[in-house]
């Protein structure tokens, strides 16, 4: 399989691989693609029960209220916090 991506995305992928401790970008990408392929497709997922749907909607409502109240993070802030947590776990 060959996957063509733009040079700018190749550079970003190289940065992600290096940050994750990989010296081989192809291996990094392949491992992520294998993990993705192992995930169920939407048609393989069972539908939510009424209780699960209501719980999910409640979480969405709570999150939207927090966002509207200014209690949210930007995507970059969330990424940085996630990276910090991963680094602590890796130690």
Task: Dump pLDDT digits (tens) for 35-74.
Answer: 999 999 999 999 999 999 999 999 999 988 988 888 777 8
Domain match, 38 and 3 both: yes
Domain match, 75 and 89 both: yes
Residue among 50, 55, 1 at smallest CA distance from 29: 1
Domain match, 18 and 55 both: no
Domain match, 55 and 73 both: yes
Domain match, 33 and 70 both: no
Report the domain count for the chain: 2
Domain match, 89 and 56 both: yes
Question: Domain range holding 22?
Answer: 1-45
Task: Dump pLDDT digits (tens) for 4-32.
Answer: 999 999 999 999 999 999 999 999 999 99
Domain match, 28 and 10 both: yes
Note the pTM of the prediction, 2 decimals: 0.51
8 Å CB contact between 31 and 20? no
Residue indicated by tokens 């691989």: 17
Domain match, 54 and 36 both: no
């Amino acid at each position: 399989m060959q996957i063509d991506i733009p040079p700018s995305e190749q550079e970003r992928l190289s940065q992600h691989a290096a940050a994750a401790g990989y010296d081989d970008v192809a291996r990094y990408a392949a491992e992520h693609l294998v993990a993705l392929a192992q995930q169920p497709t939407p048609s393989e997922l069972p539908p939510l029960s009424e209780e699960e749907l209501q719980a999910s909607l409640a979480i969405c409502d709570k999150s939207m209220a927090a966002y509207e109240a200014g209690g949210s993070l930007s995507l970059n802030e969330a990424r940085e916090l996630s990276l910090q947590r991963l680094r602590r776990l890796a130690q």
